[in-house]
Amino acid sequence: MRLIGVTPFQDEKTGRFAVNHDYLDAVHRAGALPVVLPLIAETEAWDEMLRRVDGVLLSGGADVEPGLYGEEKLPVCGDVSAVRDAAELGLCRMAIERDVPLLCICRGLQVLNVALGGTLYQDIAAQFGGPLTHPRNDTPRDPVHGVRAAADSRLFQITGLEEFRVNSRHHQAIKVLGKGLKCSARAEDGLIEGAELPSRRFVVGVQWHPESLSDRYPEAQALFDAFVRACRE
């Protein structure tokens, strides 16, 4: 069985690491064994982790420190985690360097973008506006808005759908795409909801939470299935 490393979030108050079990269930359903990775910001640790796992899933969580993309932190920006930022940015860059498959979800997509030199809206409502409400944490497991996949994207290839509906639990989003990233999906308001790195075997990011839809929506589980397939190649 292939091993998929999943990054957790850190509760800064209690010092505990945790991960929403939906991620582990979706990976397991795809036929791989999920393992939760420690948040260590050391080259040697990233090297060891990437030798042992067949793919990495960067999961959702707190905001990325705006200083890491050259901006001052605004009051509208949420909580950040320096430990997690350092651990995930390094792991992400090394995984890309070594062409280890990456599935990047919500914050994971934002980490991927920042790792490649991109920038973020620190708050969608304050800096982008638009008619949609993207932080819909009141209904985390249900589709709340549509996305349109680019016809030539990996995402479209995987889901087989040009348009579908997704859940939405983010107040931040990609502003300027990182180097080499291609926009794979946009919401109805034009906001970037997906990006991928065509130069690598499998580096796919989505702004929504397919792990919380994958037990009921085949196009959401298809992302995990395609990711695990890429990890077997």
Question: What is the nearest approach in angstroms of Mn ion to the Cβ of residue 142?
Answer: 13
**168 part of the interface to Mn ion, by CB under 5 A:** yes
Give CA separation, 156 vs 179, 196, 199, in Å.
21, 11, 17
**Helices (DSSP H) in 160-205: which residue ranges?**
none
**221 part of the interface to Mn ion, by CB under 5 A:** no
Stretch that binds Mn ion, among 86-94, 98-106, 115-123, 161-169 (CB under 5 A): 161-169
Residues 78-137 that bind Mn ion (CB under 5 A): 134
Distance CA 78, CA 89 (A): 18
Q: Which is nearer to Mn ion, 168 or 221 (CB)?
A: 168
Say which of 106, 145, 170, 171 is annotated catalytic: 106
Question: What stretches of the chain adopt beta strand conformation (E)?
Answer: 3-6, 9-11, 16-18, 33-36, 55-58, 102-105, 119-121, 145-149, 163-166, 173-176, 182-187, 192-196, 203-206
Q: Which is nearer to Mn ion, 134 or 175 (CB)?
A: 134
Residue at token pair 């008619």 = 131
Question: What stretches of 12-162 adopt beta strand conformation (E)?
Answer: 16-18, 33-36, 55-58, 102-105, 119-121, 145-149
Question: What is the nearest approach in angstroms of Mn ion to the Cβ of residue 40?
Answer: 31
DSSP conformation class of 135 = B
Q: Which is nearer to Mn ion, 84 or 145 (CB)?
A: 145
Question: What is the nearest approach in angstroms of Mn ion to the Cβ of residue 209?
Answer: 10
- Cβ-closest position to Mn ion: 168
- Reply yes or no on whether 193 is catalytic: no
- Reply yes or no on whether 209 is catalytic: yes
Question: What is the nearest approach in angstroms of Mn ion to the Cβ of residue 106?
Answer: 9
DSSP conformation class of 141 = T
- Reply yes or no on whether 211 is catalytic: yes
Question: What is the nearest approach in angstroms of Mn ion to the Cβ of residue 16?
Answer: 28
Q: Which is nearer to Mn ion, 204 or 230 (CB)?
A: 204
Residue at token pair 């291609």 = 182
**167 part of the interface to Mn ion, by CB under 5 A:** no
Q: Which is nearer to Mn ion, 39 or 195 (CB)?
A: 195
Distance CA 9, CA 78 (A): 15
The binding site for Mn ion (CB under 5 A) comprises 134, 168
**Catalytic residue set:** 106, 209, 211
